[in-house]
Chain A
Amino acid sequence: MVIAEFRKLLGLPASLVAIAISVLGTLGFAALTAISMRAALDRGDTARFTDHTTTEAGLDLLPVGAVGAIVLGVVIISSEYTSNRDDAGGGRQISTTLTSTPRRPALLAAKVTVVTVTTGALAAFTVPGAIMVSQTLLGDHGHPPGDLVDRIGWRVVGSVVYLVLTALLACAATVLTRSGIIPLTLLIANTSLVSVSLLLTRVTGLARYLPDVAGAQMVSTRYPAEDMLGPIAGGLVMAAWTVVMLVVAAVVFTRRDA
């Protein structure tokens, strides 16, 4: 069942585009940023780019990877509910899927596994890749690998976890809406550097428990708001959101008519 879901996901043009966005987008932006940063540093402009910035180069490209992760999480569900062309009967793939695999919890579990593995593998490649590209292109201004591992090692892991959980949230939300429009719009609009959630942290302290705000603490050391959770606690809060959303999605998916 897991293999079947893999083939379905990777057979979608949208998934391939999402993977391309993640890989080319993240690495491309990393290269552009590093080149311009290096040029500025060569000119002696150290005010804008401190030691801190060069260490973090590549890590701050998380929004690009997040777009890919969100698209993957959305299309694995929404593609099931898109109508075929009328010439082909106008049916939806979900009918075929449920006929061949009537055990719905198992089906959803297979989809969740596929999203986790795909996004995890993608993130495990793009996050370190972006950092390596950045450090290489920074040249003399880069940092030796050992130093980097000491300073940002856990945040690389945090980024991967963040991306996987984001994809799973997108997947769970799409199970509820069945159409990709709403989850895609809300989640991508909220990946921006100044997100709605970030603005909410200025209104209420409770916003620190929002999934993306909490999850971002796994990645960022300079989150532009005060009194945030620690990285571990933030990761756990985001994971808790994901689990709750997935449980709700599983209940709805099992009980609602397809």
Chain B
Amino acid sequence: MNSRFTDVTAAELIKLRTLPAVAGTIGATLLGVPGLALVLQAAAPEPAGASAATDAGFQAIEYGQVGLILLGVLAAATEYSGRQIHTTVKSVPHRPLLAAGKAVAHLVTAAMTAVLAVGALAGVGERRPSFGPLLGAVAYLLLISMLAYTVALLTRGVLAALVVMLGLVFVASPLLTRVTAMAGYLPDRAGRQMYQTGSSYDTTLTAGQGGVLMALWVALALALATVMFIRRDA
């Protein structure tokens, strides 16, 4: 069982590594996040005060998460663009094993990308941000990527999953925030508490609470997507 799990994970990692779109997304994210941080630092409206400079850096995460979302979507949905899923389930008929292997392979890829992106972000910053928010940013990126992965596993299509995730992060959650304080409990809003250092953010949740809440959202979505993956026809 154990070696089979390793094999499945290794196979999924090879699939991810050899997808040009995945490599392109990772590359664009690793260049884009620090690049954007540099631009935002140059644009910081006030002469770089302590919090303004760190905020500008972390603002790059807001857009950098696009890369991690895309990564999650591609990891789950590319199987369905052709006939690959049939080959996959034929070679690994044990679906729970397959689901676990896929999830772990994606987790590893996303973790690597998130760590490198946030590391690059810290590297270009004028001031070294403290360790806590950096760790929070990595955790946030990892979780948002997992959420995108589960959404794509459910929709089975790249475009649909992208619209759902980007619509949530960039359209629905900012608009809902203006309407009700409950929006603070949405996965992305809760999770961003982990890295927000600015004063402009609501204090409904602490960083720890936000992180746990987002992790719960993701765990719930992942459980649902896994059950569907196991039960639904490929």
Contacts and interface: CB of A to CB of B under 8 A. Distances in A.
B179 interface: yes
B162 A181 contact: yes
Q: Is the interface of A mostly helix, strand, loop or mixed?
A: helix
Most chain A CB within a 10 A radius of its CB, from B21, B66, B82, B166: B166
Interface in B166-198: 166-167, 169-171, 174-176, 178-180
A192 B174 contact: yes
B181 to A, nearest CB: 10
Contacts of B40: 199
Given A193-B174, A203-B43, A181 B21 contact: yes
Contacts of A21: 163, 167
A57 B83 CA distance: 48
Contacts, number: 83
A33 interface: yes
Contacts of B158: 180-181
Contacts of B62: 194
B31 interface: no
Interface string B124-139: 0000000000000000
B167 A67 contact: yes
A188 B166 contact: yes
A64 B175 contact: yes
A203 B175 contact: no
Contact of A189 (B21, B63, B81, B176): B63
Most chain A CB within a 10 A radius of its CB, from B81, B82, B175, B180: B175
A185 B21 contact: no
Nearest to B69: A185
B70 A181 contact: yes
Interface string A8-43: 000000100100010000000100110010000000
Given A64-B171, A188-B166, A199-B40, A78 B179 contact: no
B45 interface: yes
B24 to A, nearest CB: 10
B160 interface: yes
A75 B159 contact: yes
B180 A36 contact: yes
B192 to A, nearest CB: 13
B25 to A, nearest CB: 9
Nearest to B65: A189
B126 to A, nearest CB: 16
Contacts of A194: 62
A136 interface: no
A149 interface: no
A200 B39 contact: yes
Interface in B9-29: 21
A61 interface: yes
Contacts of B59: 199
A185 B166 CA distance: 7
A74 B131 CA distance: 41
Contacts of A191: 170-171
B42 interface: yes
Contacts of A86: 82-83
B178 A33 contact: yes
B172 to A, nearest CB: 8
A202 interface: yes
Contacts of A36: 179-180
A193 B176 CA distance: 12
Contacts of B163: 17, 21, 67, 71, 184, 188
A201 to B, nearest CB: 9
Contacts of A17: 160, 163
Contacts of B45: 202
Given A180-B159, A188-B162, 14 more contacts: A17-B160, A21-B163, A29-B175, A33-B178, A71-B159, A78-B159, A86-B82, A86-B83, A181-B158, A188-B166, A188-B171, A189-B63, A193-B175, A200-B39
Interface of B: 21, 36, 39-40, 42-43, 45, 59, 62-63, 66, 70, 81-83, 158-160, 162-163, 166-167, 169-171, 174-176, 178-180
10 contacts: A29-B179, A32-B179, A83-B81, A86-B83, A185-B66, A188-B162, A188-B166, A188-B167, A189-B63, A196-B36
User: Top 8 closest A-B pairs, CB basis?
Assistant: A192-B170, A202-B43, A188-B166, A203-B43, A86-B83, A32-B179, A36-B179, A63-B171
